[in-house]
Structure 1
Amino acid sequence: MSADEVHDPVAEEVKEPTKAEEVAKKIAERFPSASVEVKTNKWGRQRVWVRVPREDYKALMGFIKELDPEAHYSIGIEQDWGEELGFLAHLVIHYRDAPAVSLIVDVHAPKDDPVIPDISDIFPIALQFEREGMEMVGLDFEGAPDKRRLFLPEDFPEGIYPLRLDDKGISEEMVKNAGHPYLIKKGGKE
């Protein structure tokens, strides 16, 4: 063995996994059907991205709460992906031990069966974002305790979803007649 071939284990640095990598590993082990990836942004912060089948969505959210009972549900965002509707949930976990772990959970449902489980029993604040998803793209959060509209007026046409990109979205006719039948009052008079 030459001097160049000598293996010096002390000289090698052992890279410890980051908190984000540890969380990603735990999720991937528990949910093998999920796609789990750690991405680093341009500022060097890591974020865990999880794409989970809707059948595992509620269990995953419960598992996140097990990982960190103080997990913070930040926001939920509805999306129209063409053949599917999606819902992205952003959470922050382990925030007491800086840096916190930023976590994005992505779940999809086909447009012909746009049902995703409600998680407001796990994260109560999620209900307001689920309600928005119901009225803006037509998702149905199965088991949601409150399915009333959040932003649209009660007389807004049923079956029309403002953020849909297909025939269930706002028609060109509705855009041209913006404001009607909702009259704008001037000085308290119609």
Structure 2
Amino acid sequence: MKLLTPEEIISTLQKRLGKSMLDSRVQIRTEGVKKRENRNIWITIDKYAVHQAVKALMGIAYPHLSCISGWDKGRDDPNLRVQYIFTIYGGEAGAETMVVFSLDLPKDNPVLPTITDLMEGTAFTEREKTEYLGIRIEGLAPAEHRFFLPEDFPEGIYPLRKDDKGIPQSMVKNLWACGRPQNRPPAPLPEKEEAAAAPAAPAAPANSEAKPETKSPEGGA
């Protein structure tokens, strides 16, 4: 297998994705005293090109999926940001490369295709995006239970959203204001503090008997 440079990887993906690749950049940093290269490729793609992009990357080298990350871009932005973070050429000295596909999803209709048909292990991280951000993953097999949130967590509320689908103020509990329960014993002290807090032992009584003076045979004191 030929190991491609970051520029060659981008060129290969560009040919396969066409206009679905919106922009790209390469970031190379050195780490440690040996100045080991850390190669990173950042690619922004169209939201409809996820499956195509992952398949194209697999055509270069089978990737390791670190995770699918996602976040709300803020109340003033209509989009969520999703990133598919892969590594290729793992274990190849000087060639290991991180490839990140980034895309925006509209908050009013956040839908993505599953990539479990390409990589079965992505199901776990795809479900995380569903439960925390409300992203609908088309083609993902239904689950019998939630993986990340309690079963009684309200439907339609997503903890990582910053809009009206996020956690309402009525669900926020200020635990810091609750105070310490009065029916609990005091917290145990560490050994040093416990020793310092212990009462001092009573002083030994002074010896009231005077010690007789002894004189030397020559009569000196």
Bin the TM-score by the shorter chain. Answer: 0.7 to 0.9
Kindly report the root-mean-square deviation, in angstroms, between the aligned alpha carbons of the 2 structures: 2.0
Q: Find out whether 1:37 has 2:29 as its counterpart.
A: no
> Aligned partners of 1:80, 1:128: CA distance in 2, in Å?
20
> Aligned partners of 2:172, 2:86: CA distance in 1, in Å?
35
Match of 1:158 among 146, 155, 159: 155
Q: Find out whether 1:116 has 2:109 as its counterpart.
A: no
- Residue 14 of structure 2 corresponds to 28
With the length of structure 2 as denominator, give the TM-score of the two structures. 0.67
Question: Once the 2 structures are TM-superposed, how far is the Cα of residue 146 of structure 1 from its aligned partner?
Answer: 3.3
Question: Once the 2 structures are TM-superposed, how far is the Cα of residue 174 of structure 1 from its aligned partner?
Answer: 0.5
* Structure with greater Cα Rg: 2
Partner of 2:18, secondary structure, is coil
> 2:161·2:167 contact (CA, 8 Å) conserved in 1?
yes
Deviations 1:138-169 (A, max 9, x none): 11111111355211011100000000011111
With the length of structure 1 as denominator, give the TM-score of the two structures. 0.77
> 1:85·1:139 contact (CA, 8 Å) conserved in 2?
no
Match of 1:92 among 87, 91, 105: 87
> Aligned partners of 1:155, 1:85: CA distance in 2, in Å?
25
CA change 1:171–1:28 in 2 (3 A) is: same
> 2:38·2:97 contact (CA, 8 Å) conserved in 1?
no
- Residue 46 of structure 2 corresponds to 53
> Aligned partners of 1:56, 1:64: CA distance in 2, in Å?
12
Return the letter of the residue paired with 2:129: G
Q: What 5-or-longer segments of structure 1 have no aligned partner?
A: 1-16, 179-190
State the identity as a percent.
31
Count of residues paired in the alignment: 161
- Residue 186 of structure 1 corresponds to none
Return the letter of the residue paired with 1:61: V
